[in-house]
Amino acid sequence: MSTAIENKKLKSNNKLVSTSLLLGGVLIAVMMIFGILMLLAQGGVIDVSDAAFYQFLTIHGTGMVGAAALAAAGVMWYFLNRYVELSKKIFIWFLGLVLIGVVLVVIGVFSFKYASAWTFLYPLPAISANAWGVTGALLYLFGMLILGTGFLLLYIDTGRAIIKKYGSLGKGLGWDVLSGKKKVSDAPPKAVVASTMVTIVNTTALIAGAAVLIMNIINVINPSFTFDPMLAKNLTYAFGHIFANAIIYMGVIVVYELLPKYANRPWAVSKLFLVAWTMSTAFTLVIYTHHMLMDFAMPKWMLIMGQALSYANGLPVLVVTAYGALMVVYKSGIKWDMASGLAFLSMFGWTVGVVPAVVDATIVVNHVMHNTKWVPGHFHMYMGLGAVVMLFSFTYYLAKIDSNVKESKLDKIAFWCYAIAMFAISAQFLVSGALSTPRRWAIHYPGWMTPAVFGAIAGVFLVIATTIFIIHFVRYLKNRGTVGSGLNEQKPA
């Protein structure tokens, strides 16, 4: 395709993609405020009723995962669309369904007091000791079902488009290259490999999620319909673990696309890269069982597998990506700006965030640390300092290539403010975990309060930094299409 046509197509898609990023970004900022409120309550600074605390916990967990996934799906769609023909109509349906889902969830939580946490573990939706009623549960469960349907539609389309261009999902992962039928130089681009992985794991996750949501819905309407709680837990965590994990695998595409352009160096796909992505595809699908290490009724082999593979889960992709990013950047004379800086920071956050996760995946440690704040410690690090940073790297990137909006000193200050504040919040959770503070407790003993208060203060700085990121993006939206930096004209890496 000639560059002129290519550019026109790219720019007309920018508007759609921007919608998912703006919506996701604003939701993330708002959800941060609920995070701060929870910490202030746990720290004994403000009075929040127990019921309200669990509503905050529910909306914060659901909202953060949903919003980050929404924005990350925009990033994946944007880059994947350069290599395969995706349907714009489906993306609009996706946005619409997610929006409807969000509205139902918000009404369910705040108007009808639904507060099961985002894991909606059966039979909690139906049996709440009258904390909430049928309406709240149905609004929440249907909201999640509709939201999930939107995502499922999107992945069916990405799967269709990848199969059309490359022949199969296996080939999208580069299996024909691994088996020697194709040269490495003809391997699918990194964006396609990552998108194929996410398509496979998230389709699986969403089907598991839909099944357990529907069973919960029937149980709420007619409590005489019951089902095996162990099966429910398996399905719920197959959904939740995979879906939350896939966010970073969508977001990382911006790192793959952006760094080589900025450093003006190729970042070629290697066999090792393909092996790593195939391994992470397989591991991500099966290791949700690490959420069941306490469930003695589970088959032992599943737990052992969950433990062993949890170590290895994200590592292959993380290692090839972090190493590749370093090699691309090293002595390249790369020009650092917000987009490339955030992309690099996200690699740091992801790497550092994995360490406490690996520690917790050890059964012996897990028996002590599980259900302490150690767990939110690790995922706030790799979500907040990894995945979410990738999303904002993309918003700055888009602003740069598609407008003449300039970055200011304020953006730079926001960068450091964000990095330090998010690190502080994660560290605060880890310290609490080390003090054996249980997670998901509305009320803390005085000895547990200090880290929470510290985290709340850091949270205020984080919200300010995030707001500055969003303002830059809004300025771009107002100036969209004015001459960009010309990076658009270069061939995709």
* Residue from 10, 64, 98, 145 binding ligand HEM (CB under 6 A): 64
Q: How far is the CB of 388 from ligand HEM (least distance, A)?
A: 5
> Restricting to residues 414-433, which ones interact with ligand HEM according to CB under 6 A?
425
**Scanning residues 213 to 252, which ones bind Cu ion (CB under 5 A)?**
241
How far is 416 from 314, CA to CA, in rounded Å? 27
User: Can you tell me which of 10, 17, 21, 35 binds ligand HEM, judged by CB under 6 A?
Assistant: 35
Select the binding partner of residue 11 from ligand HEM, Cu ion, none (C-beta < 5 to 8 A, by kind).
none
Closer residue to Cu ion (CB): 114 or 237: 237
Nearest distance from residue 291's CB to Cu ion, in Å? Answer: 5
How is residue 29 written in tokens? 């900022």
**What's the closest the beta carbon of residue 37 comes to Cu ion, in angstroms?**
26
Residue span 110-139 as binding mask against ligand HEM, x where in contact by CB under 6 A, dash where not: -------xxx--------------------
Q: Pick between residue 117 and residue 285 the one whose CB is nearest to ligand HEM.
A: 117
- 380 forms part of the interface with Cu ion (CB under 5 A): no
79/264 Cα distance (integer angstroms): 18
Q: Which stretch binds ligand HEM (CB under 6 A): 34-42, 131-139, 204-212, 265-273?
A: 34-42
Give the shortest CB-99-to-ligand HEM separation in angstroms: 19
Q: Which of 159, 249, 243, 167 is nearest to 196 (CA)?
A: 159
What does the per-residue mask of binding to ligand HEM show for 350-389, with x meaning CB under 6 A?
A: -----------------------x--x---x--xx---x-
Residue 38 or 80 with smaller CB distance to ligand HEM: 38
CB 460, min distance to ligand HEM, A: 8
Q: What does 383 interact with, of Cu ion, ligand HEM, none (CB < 5 to 8 A by kind)?
A: ligand HEM
Nearest CA to 424 among 386, 393, 384, 464?
384
Chosen from ligand HEM, Cu ion, none, partner binding at 118 (C-beta under 5 to 8 Å by type): ligand HEM
Burial of 111 (0-12, 13-18, 19+ CB in 10 A): exposed
Tell me the two tokens of residue 302.
């599943």
Q: Which of residues 324-343 bind ligand HEM (CB under 6 A)?
A: none
Stretch that binds ligand HEM, among 29-37, 261-269, 322-330, 394-402 (CB under 6 A): 29-37
HEC letters along the chain: CCHHHHHHHHHHHHHHHHHHHHHHHHHHHHHHHHHHHHHHHHCCCCCCCHHHHHHHHHHHHHHHHHHHHHHHHHHHHHHHCCCCCCCHHHHHHHHHHHHHHHHHHHHHHHCCCCCCCCCCCCCCCCCCCCCCCHHHHHHHHHHHHHHHHHHHHHHHHHHHHHHHHHCCHHHHCCHHHHCCCCCHHHCCCHHHHHHHHHHHHHHHHHHHHHHHHHHHHHHHHCCCCCCCHHHHHHHHHHHHHHHHHHHHHHHHHHHHHHHHHHHCCCCCCCHHHHHHHHHHHHHHHHHHHHHHCCCCCCCHHHHHHHHHHHHHCCHHHHHHHHHHHHHHHCCCCCCCCHHHHHHHHHHHHHHHHHHHHHHHCCHHHHHHHCCECHHHHHHHHHHHHHHHHHHHHHHHHHHHHHCCCCCCHHHHHHHHHHHHHHHHHHHHHHHHHHCCCECCCCCCCHHHHHHHHHHHHHHHHHHHHHHHHHHHHHHHHHCCCCCCCCHHHCCCC
Question: What is the smallest separation between the CB atom of 455 and ligand HEM, expressed in angstroms?
Answer: 6
CB of 466 to ligand HEM, least distance (A): 8
Q: What's the min distance (Å) between Cβ of 288 and ligand HEM?
A: 15
Question: In the complex with ligand HEM, which residue's Cβ is closer, 117 or 327?
Answer: 117
> How many chain residues interact with ligand HEM (CB under 6 A)?
26
Number of residues counted as binding Cu ion (CB under 5 A) = 1
CB of 310 to Cu ion, least distance (A): 8
Of 95 and 287, which CB lies nearer to Cu ion in the complex structure?
287
Q: Which residue is nearest to ligand HEM (CB)?
A: 35
The number of beta carbons lying within 10 Å of the beta carbon of residue 85 is 12
Q: Quick one: what does residue 241 bind among Cu ion, ligand HEM, none, with the CB cut-off 5 to 8 Å set by partner type?
A: Cu ion
Q: Does 40 bind ligand HEM (CB under 6 A)?
A: no
For position 94 contacting ligand HEM by CB under 6 A, the verdict is: no
Q: Is 61 in the site for ligand HEM (CB under 6 A)?
A: yes
Interface residues with Cu ion (CB under 5 A)? 241
Interface residues with ligand HEM (CB under 6 A)? 32, 35-36, 38-39, 57, 60-61, 64-65, 68, 117-119, 373, 376, 380, 383-384, 388, 425, 439-440, 455, 459, 462
